[in-house]
Structure 1
Amino acid sequence: MLQSKAKWQYRDFHNNEALINELPGVTPVIGELLVQRGITTVEAANQFLSPDIKNLHNPITITSIEKAADRVHQAIASKEKILVFGDYDADGVSSTTVMLKTLEELGADCDYYIPNRFTEGYGPNEAAFRDAHENGYSVIVTVDNGIAAVDEATIAKQLGIDLIITDHHEVQVELPDAYAILHPKCSPDYPFDELAGVGVAFKFAEQLLGYFPKHLLDLVAIGTIADMVPLVDENRIFAYYGLHALTITKNPGIRALKAVCKIEGNVTEEDVGFLIGPRLNAVGRLQDADLAVQLLMTDDPILADEMAIEIQGINVKRQEIVNQIVKEAEQMVQGHPNGVIIVQKAGWNEGVLGIVASKLVRKYDRPAIVLTEKAGTGEVKGSARSIPAFDLFKNCMKVRDFFTHFGGHAQAAGMTLPAENIPIIQESLNEFIHDALTADDFRQVIEINAILKLTDINDNLVDEINRLAPFGMKNPKPNFAIKEIPADARQIGAKKNHLKLLFNEEDVQVEGIGFGMGDLYSYITPHTPLTLVGELGINEWNGKRKAQLVLKDMKIEEWQLHDQRGKKQVEILPYINETIAVLANEIMPAHESAVQISYEVEIEELEKTDVLYIYDLPVDVGLLKQIVQKTEPNNIHACFHIDHSAYLTAFPAREEFIWFYALVRKRKVLNLRQEIQTIMNAKGWTKERIIFISKVFFELGFVKIENGVVHVNPSPDKKDLSESPSYQARVNQIKVEKDLYYSNYEQLKTWFEDCMNRVEIPKEEEINGL
């Protein structure tokens, strides 16, 4: 048996016949997935399956948007200088570009400014505002930031700068005293409050331009998808049409970026989330984000190609830095953390700490705060990521006074704090998390939308599911579970770190691929069903399309036999949270928490165990049966090794015993020390064979042996050869080896199943009538 790494939650099945009947072309699978998403009417289903730009909300309902637009138009008319104050991530960069292109189209005297992550940090700062004032800027428009800039808004007002904030981040206790705040969550009349920063900027651009700026949709798609906002309502429409815009884009910078990412054909949300977004993010993580904005703004294809190649190099360097910090952070964690992870080190690049935190969360299933020291300040700065069950923003706000700066969302945050405050924050967050969560809450959750048979899976089903795309937050790609016995399983990849499975049934062949799941290969045993959960996709190779299951998790619900017989180096599997016992006469290597037992153990004192490693063959199979029945293991590792096999050594025939006994009776006295070689040559016997035969006759009382000299007993009692203990032991050893060592896998598994299911522990035999 094998536990799943994540907690599986199966969605309820709904009767969706009415919806299916009213929607032509909608299959039961799609109908069920729609209902699971809360889409129960024909109108809502049609809007979801065929998003319409006409269903976007009117920007006029965003609070203060008219006031903000009037001020910008006034500035343009009076030739005032306008500064777009952006952010250094993909959402911020795309937001900056949207606003800059809009202002340039309107003829504004404008420029942009993105603070340096390392010297200025996130969001507005006083020095930047004062510098803007000195350079003649009278209007500043923030994009994807500003909602927490309370002090900076006051500075702007003192300087005579009209500050227009467009943002989407969580609203804190106090709002900035800005000229205008454009924020969906500060707009009671606006029907959707989950826009990305670029979505808010796009709405402002639409209000400024007076028409729907379709030519900016490619940029909106980048920021919306990369920032992982819920892909529902307006965001779904933006992503749906924006991906098409990215596919046919004329923007030289985006085209160059697609080329270095090797994106061809239709651009998908995965292309943005895993290729385009990370590269735009990489720039601001290692240096000023200006290069990313310049790439998206340029009209020169040659310059765009050069910048895209430079960004590609920056991304490679970013990956190397992340890998090194993750390695160092994991060494600091040391084992499995009990609460919230907080790690810090001087010299860590603060631009990648969010990525590092995400990797720690995925590995340890714990919220993680990763910090780097700010030289000479006594402060640390970093990023945090959380698990679904723990709202990091709300809980950190409970100890907000211990942070110098703090902001973010439920699952992600950034902060600066005095290093001396780390212990109290650690203690407080650990207290909050243990008060709020159970042990099960720390496990990642995989939501399973349906259970499929292998014969259900084909490329048509995958095409149907893709009608629900683009997938993302609140519209996740559906997960399906299957339970099948693989026809083949193997580790693939240069480091053997991926798992590939093949399933065959009724002329249906489906592959399963588990990226990074190669370690699970060792847990798979022959003829054992695997319960798998994953996403359905298409594997295209040489022009052929084949449906495949992209694995997310695996469990095995039946007891397992792991056949390691004859191996000199036994594989010790890293079971987690299981009880482990080792059955061996000598101390053997195993799991650190393993309990060592031997065949001399008192059976009644044994306790149940999840995993049993068996190294030594028993003298009597009955004893092993009792141990197995009492411990009831879910996993048995047969690790038997034989140096001298009784089964493979020919057992002396009855005629051989007769010949040897006749020789002794004839001689009366037989000195084996002198004549054993003669007998070996004459009969072709081994020395051990002759000694064994002699010992059997000695135990039966037919002969006496003193110092290697055999004397015949002239009047022995009549006994059968099987009455000799050595003879019995040899026969029994042969049976033990035959049943447990030389049997095939199916025979050995059946033997253990008989132990666990049908063998009773025998009652203590009466001895000598007592």
Structure 2
Amino acid sequence: MLRSKAKWNLTQEEEPALPIDPSLSLSDLTQELLRKRGIETKEAAKLFLSPQLEQLHDPMLMNDMNKAVDRVKQAIEQEEYIWVFGDYDADGVSSTALMVEVLREMGAYVEFYIPNRFTEGYGPNEEAFRNAHAEGISLIITVDTGIAANHEADVAKELGIDLIITDHHEAQNELPDAYAIVHPKLGGTYPFKELAGVGVAFKFAHALLGDFPKHLLDLVVIGTIADLVPLHDENRVLAAHGLKAISRSIRPGVQALKKVCSIEGDITEEDIGFAIGPRINAVGRLQDAFPAVDLLLTESDAEADALANQIHALNQERQKIVAEIAEEAERMLDSQADDLPSVIVVAKEGWNQGVLGIVASRLVNKYDRPTIVLTVDPETQTAKGSARSIDAFDMFTNCMEVRSQFTHFGGHAQAAGMTLPLENVETLREALNDLADQKLAPEDFKQLLTIDRCVSLEDITISTIEEIAKLSPFGMGNPKPLFQLEETTPAEVRQIGSKLNHLKMRFKANGNDLDTIGFGMGDLYPRIAPQSAVTIVGELSINEWNGKRKPQIMMKDLSVNDWQLFDLRGNRHLEKAMPRLPFDHTVAIFFGEATEDQAWVFDYYPVIELNHDPELIGELPLDEIEHMVLMDLPNSMEQIKSVIQTMSPNNIYACYRTDDAAFLKTLPTRDHFKWFYGMLMKRKKFHLETEGPKLADYKGWSKDSVEFISHVFFELEFVRIDNGLLTLNPNPSKKDLAESALYQQKHEQLKVEQTLYFSSYPQLKAWFTEQMDRVSDVKEEIS
């Protein structure tokens, strides 16, 4: 058995519903997926499948939009100097480029500024505003930032600078005293609240120009997808049309990004989410983000290529730094793996502040815990970092309950950034854990996978996958559909990748051939026994290679619902071959004495030596034992039957071997015994040492067989043995061979080896299954 990592929530309709509209020419599966997205009518389905620009709302409905537009136009007319103050992530960079481009188009004197993550931190800051004033700036427009800049708004007012804030982050208790705040969640008049920062900037651009800025769609799509806002309503329209625009964009920066990302053909949401977005983000994570904005604004192909290559190199460096910090944090946490807190807070001096959000995401994925990762500055005695969370724990709301611990704080339900005094780190850790312990149940710490439907191999076709693709672009609010491939035995399971960290399975049935790939799931390979039926959850996709197109599943999770047998019989390198099983859920069984080369087992697992303390099994928490490791062969079949039926484990590891197998030596038959006794009656005496080898050679027996027959006769008192000389007992009692303990022991040893050691894998699995089924039958009878 292999438990799934996540909770699975199958939402398949129990009874097929009526189609939305037969004229849509969509399969039942696609119509079911539409209904799950709240699409119930033909008109709604058409708009969802073909989003229209007419669905966008009037930008003038947004809070303070009229006031902001009038102030910008006044600044342009009076030739004032304007600053666009942005953020260093992909949303902020694309917002900055978009706003600068539209202002330049309108004839404004405009420059942009993005704070340095390391020296200035997140958001507007007083020093930057004072420098702007010294340069003659009279109007500052923030994009994707500013909603928490209360102090900075006061500074701007003091300096005589008008501050227009455009942002989409959650508003805190007190709003900045700015000239205007353009924000979809304020004022209550704007119909859609979930725009990205670049989406707000785009609406501002629309209001400023008076005409729809179609030429800016290739910029708005970058931040909209990279910032993980829900892709419905306006965001779906902007993403769908933005993907078309960026795919045919002649913007030099976009062309250069496609080149370094090795993107051919149309750009997809996955290209932005996993290739373009991370590269733009990498600049601000490691240095000033100015080159990323310059890349999107430049009109020079040569400059674009140079900037894109610089950004690509920074992204490679970022990946290396992330891996190093994540590994260091994991080592810190693995040392307390058996007692992880509900909320993880890790802090260390020297960690690169720019990548801590990515590290936090990795830790959330590995440990299924809300996570805060902080870097410590010993000079200022402060800690700065990022937080990522699980679905059940709203990081923004819970951190706001302990807002006093932070010097600076802002973010969303699933992500946040913060600065706090170093002395508050432990207090913060305790406070958040108290909140989590009050609010969360054990099941909340497992990721939830919402599964749309169960499918069979026959259901997974190219045409089905192409039709499902009509629901794209996928993302937050419109997740890529997940499907469950029911229990199926793979024809092949193997690890792939240079580090063998990915898992590949191949399934074949009724002429259907399907590959499944699980990135980062290579560690599960030794946990899947041969011939085990697996259940897989994943996304359907098409693999295109050398002109051939083939359906495949990108695995998100898997499980094995039946018990498993791992056959390591005869293996002389067990310490390397055995996976590291959870200590609290594993037990290693010795029926006899452990040998020196088995000493390693005592370091890894709880051990029971039945020859020393056979009653110990009864003291184990049997309901918690999932893995049983059999280290040697039992003395009898009844002995192992008792162990199996007592424990009924989920997984059995057969790790025993024998160097002196009775099975390989022929057990003498009754005819052998009869002939030997007749020979003694004729000869009257027989010397084992001198005549035994000759007899064995003459009869084609082994020497061990001759000795075994002799000792059985001795035990039954048929003969006497004196210094190796056999003589008949003149008055033997009539006894059967089965009355000899030696004969029974050899016979039992033969049976043990035949059943447990020299059997085939299917035979051994069937025998263990029979023993566990007997336990199930007894439990059913009792209940």
Same fold per TM (> 0.5)? yes
Moved more, 217-226 or 14-23: 14-23
Instruction: Compute the displacement of 1:667 (Å).
Output: 4.4
The CA RMSD measured in Å over matched residues stands at 2.1
* Contact 1:579–1:594, Cα closer than 8 Å, also in 2: no
1-structure distance, mates of 2:619, 2:144: 66
Look up the match of 1:731: 747
Instruction: Compute the displacement of 1:592 (Å).
Output: 4.4
The share of aligned pairs that are identical, in percent, is 53
Query: Which amino acid letter does the alignment assign opposite residue 596 of structure 1?
Result: I
1-structure distance, mates of 2:441, 2:375: 31
State how 1:183-222 maps to structure 2 within 5 Å.
183-222=183-222
1-structure distance, mates of 2:523, 2:155: 56
> Are 2:445 and 1:442 equivalent residues in the alignment?
yes
> Are 2:493 and 1:489 equivalent residues in the alignment?
yes
Alignment partner for residue 424 of structure 1, among 423, 427, 434? Answer: 427
Query: Which amino acid letter does the alignment assign opposite residue 134 of structure 1?
Result: A
State how 1:30-429 maps to structure 2 within 5 Å.
30-333=30-333, 334-336=335-337, 337-429=340-432
State how 1:330-729 maps to structure 2 within 5 Å.
330-333=330-333, 334-336=335-337, 337-483=340-486, 484-570=488-574, 571-576=577-582, 579-584=585-590, 585-587=592-594, 589=601, 592=604, 594-598=606-610, 601-602=614-615, 607-608=622-623, 609-680=625-696, 682-683=698-699, 685-729=701-745
* Contact 1:626–1:761, Cα closer than 8 Å, also in 2: no
Instruction: Compute the displacement of 1:557 (Å).
Output: 1.2
Say if 1:448 and 1:591 are closer, same or farther in 2 by CA, change over 3 A: farther
Look up the match of 1:765: none
Say if 1:759 and 1:329 are closer, same or farther in 2 by CA, change over 3 A: closer
* Contact 1:22–1:42, Cα closer than 8 Å, also in 2: no
2-structure distance, mates of 1:595, 1:439: 29
1-structure distance, mates of 2:742, 2:775: 27
Instruction: Compute the displacement of 1:710 (Å).
Output: 2.2
Instruction: Compute the displacement of 1:580 (Å).
Output: 2.6
> Are 2:757 and 1:753 equivalent residues in the alignment?
no
Instruction: Compute the displacement of 1:44 (Å).
Output: 1.8
* Contact 1:20–1:26, Cα closer than 8 Å, also in 2: no
1-structure distance, mates of 2:257, 2:567: 51
2-structure distance, mates of 1:239, 1:760: 54
Query: Which amino acid letter does the alignment assign opposite residue 366 of structure 1?
Result: R
Moved more, 672-681 or 158-167: 672-681
1-structure distance, mates of 2:482, 2:272: 21
Say if 1:590 and 1:276 are closer, same or farther in 2 by CA, change over 3 A: farther
Give the alignment's TM-score, normalised by structure 2: 0.94
- Could you report, residue by residue, the CA deviation over 1:712-748 in whole angstroms, capped at 9, with x for unpaired residues? 2123223333332222222222222112211112222
Instruction: Compute the displacement of 1:682 (Å).
Output: 4.6
Instruction: Compute the displacement of 1:677 (Å).
Output: 4.6
Instruction: Compute the displacement of 1:623 (Å).
Output: 2.5
Say if 1:308 and 1:557 are closer, same or farther in 2 by CA, change over 3 A: same
- Could you report, residue by residue, the CA deviation over 1:408-433 in whole angstroms, capped at 9, with x for unpaired residues? 11111111111001111111000000
* Contact 1:20–1:28, Cα closer than 8 Å, also in 2: no
Query: Which amino acid letter does the alignment assign opposite residue 712 of structure 1?
Result: L
Q: Which secondary structure state, in structure 1, belongs to the residue aligned with residue 372 of structure 2?
A: strand
Instruction: Compute the displacement of 1:396 (Å).
Output: 0.8
1-structure distance, mates of 2:227, 2:330: 26
2-structure distance, mates of 1:181, 1:290: 25
- Contiguous gaps of at least 5 residues in structure 2: 779-783
The aligned length equals 762
* Contact 1:366–1:387, Cα closer than 8 Å, also in 2: yes
Say if 1:761 and 1:79 are closer, same or farther in 2 by CA, change over 3 A: closer
Instruction: Compute the displacement of 1:16 (Å).
Output: 6.6
Query: Which amino acid letter does the alignment assign opposite residue 492 of structure 2?
Result: D
Look up the match of 2:781: none
* Contact 2:228–2:476, Cα closer than 8 Å, also in 1: yes
Q: Which secondary structure state, in structure 2, belongs to the residue aligned with residue 186 of structure 1?
A: coil
1-structure distance, mates of 2:245, 2:484: 35
- Could you report, residue by residue, the CA deviation over 1:174-196 in whole angstroms, capped at 9, with x for unpaired residues? 10010100000113110001000
Query: Which amino acid letter does the alignment assign opposite residue 479 of structure 1?
Result: L
1-structure distance, mates of 2:248, 2:776: 73
* Contact 1:67–1:180, Cα closer than 8 Å, also in 2: yes
- Could you report, residue by residue, the CA deviation over 1:426-484 in whole angstroms, capped at 9, with x for unpaired residues? 11000000100011101111111111122111111111111110011111001010111
Q: Which secondary structure state, in structure 1, belongs to the residue aligned with residue 704 of structure 2?
A: helix
2-structure distance, mates of 1:690, 1:16: 75
Say if 1:578 and 1:529 are closer, same or farther in 2 by CA, change over 3 A: farther
Instruction: Compute the displacement of 1:507 (Å).
Output: 1.6
Say if 1:761 and 1:457 are closer, same or farther in 2 by CA, change over 3 A: closer
- Could you report, residue by residue, the CA deviation over 1:299-347 in whole angstroms, capped at 9, with x for unpaired residues? 0001111111111111101111111111111122223322211111111
* Contact 1:14–1:35, Cα closer than 8 Å, also in 2: no
Instruction: Compute the displacement of 1:612 (Å).
Output: 2.0
* Contact 2:666–2:705, Cα closer than 8 Å, also in 1: no
Say if 1:56 and 1:576 are closer, same or farther in 2 by CA, change over 3 A: farther
- Could you report, residue by residue, the CA deviation over 1:144-187 in whole angstroms, capped at 9, with x for unpaired residues? 00100001001101111010000001100110010100000113
Q: Which secondary structure state, in structure 2, belongs to the residue aligned with residue 426 of structure 1?
A: helix
Q: Which secondary structure state, in structure 1, belongs to the residue aligned with residue 614 of structure 2?
A: coil
1-structure distance, mates of 2:375, 2:707: 75
2-structure distance, mates of 1:129, 1:377: 23
Query: Which amino acid letter does the alignment assign opposite residue 301 of structure 1?
Result: D
2-structure distance, mates of 1:760, 1:466: 45
* Contact 1:615–1:638, Cα closer than 8 Å, also in 2: yes
Query: Which amino acid letter does the alignment assign opposite residue 561 of structure 1?
Result: L
* Contact 1:574–1:591, Cα closer than 8 Å, also in 2: no
Say if 1:637 and 1:414 are closer, same or farther in 2 by CA, change over 3 A: same
Query: Which amino acid letter does the alignment assign opposite residue 390 of structure 2?
Result: I
- Could you report, residue by residue, the CA deviation over 1:98-156 in whole angstroms, capped at 9, with x for unpaired residues? 00000110111110011111110111111111110110110000000010000100110
* Contact 1:462–1:538, Cα closer than 8 Å, also in 2: yes
- Could you report, residue by residue, the CA deviation over 1:338-383 in whole angstroms, capped at 9, with x for unpaired residues? 2211111111111111111111111111111111122411111111
Instruction: Compute the displacement of 1:246 (Å).
Output: 1.0
Instruction: Compute the displacement of 1:670 (Å).
Output: 3.5
Query: Which amino acid letter does the alignment assign opposite residue 158 of structure 2?
Result: Q
1-structure distance, mates of 2:427, 2:245: 49
1-structure distance, mates of 2:603, 2:271: 42
Say if 1:134 and 1:16 are closer, same or farther in 2 by CA, change over 3 A: farther
Instruction: Compute the displacement of 1:88 (Å).
Output: 0.6
Instruction: Compute the displacement of 1:634 (Å).
Output: 2.1
Instruction: Compute the displacement of 1:679 (Å).
Output: 4.1
Instruction: Compute the displacement of 1:760 (Å).
Output: 11
1-structure distance, mates of 2:167, 2:582: 44
Instruction: Compute the displacement of 1:683 (Å).
Output: 4.6
Look up the match of 1:767: none
Say if 1:332 and 1:756 are closer, same or farther in 2 by CA, change over 3 A: closer
Moved more, 661-670 or 462-471: 661-670
Give the alignment's TM-score, normalised by structure 1: 0.95
Instruction: Compute the displacement of 1:494 (Å).
Output: 2.1
- Contiguous gaps of at least 5 residues in structure 1: 763-770
